[in-house]
């Protein structure tokens, strides 16, 4: 899975924090103790959106495990098809969000089109 920050979405009406559009591999554990791999699509200090095949219920709770962080307890705020929005029980510090995004960045590929040849 590619890991990268794509953009920053500013705070909009009804939102508490700016979101960072990301593509991060993570793990999610629901109350039934199922642990699955998920894709976090955006992240903020207050929550995240993820693509998940788990059958979740709005108002339920799940634990998010991102690389380098302790598991974060979160409440399921909404569900739409295979996507769900989660609100952290304890918001993340802005520096923690920056760290997670920085750790998830994939370095630029060198020699993407093959080695440089002589002309």
The Cα 119–Cα 117 span in angstroms is 6
Domains of the chain plus CATH, in order, are 5-104 (2.40.10.220)
pTM: 0.74
- The DSSP letter of residue 31 is T
pLDDT of residue 18: 77
Which of helix, strand or coil describes residue 28? strand
- For the stretch 9-32, pLDDT in tens is 555 555 566 788 888 999 999 877
Identify the three-state secondary structure at position 81.
Answer: coil
- pLDDT value of position 1: 44
Query: Which ranges in 12-51 belong to alpha helices (H)?
Result: none
**CA-based torsion, 4, 13, 91, 95: positive or negative:** positive
Q: Which of 17-21, 35-39, 55-59, 85-89 has the lowest mean pLDDT?
A: 17-21
Helix (H), strand (E) at residue 96 = helix 94-104
């Amino acid at each position: 899975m590619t890991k990268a920050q794509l953009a920053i979405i500013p705070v909009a009406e009804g939102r508490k924090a700016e979101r960072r559009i990301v593509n991060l591999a993570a793990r999610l554990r629901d109350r039934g103790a199922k642990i699955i791999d998920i894709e976090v699509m955006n992240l903020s200090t207050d929550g995240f959106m993820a693509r998940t095949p788990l059958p979740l219920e709005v108002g339920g709770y799940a634990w998010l495990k991102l690389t380098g962080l302790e598991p974060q307890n979160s409440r399921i705020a909404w569900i739409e098809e295979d996507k769900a929005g989660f609100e952290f029980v304890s918001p993340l510090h802005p520096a923690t969000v920056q760290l997670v995004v920085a750790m998830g960045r994939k370095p630029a590929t060198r020699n993407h089109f093959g080695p440089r040849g002589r002309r």
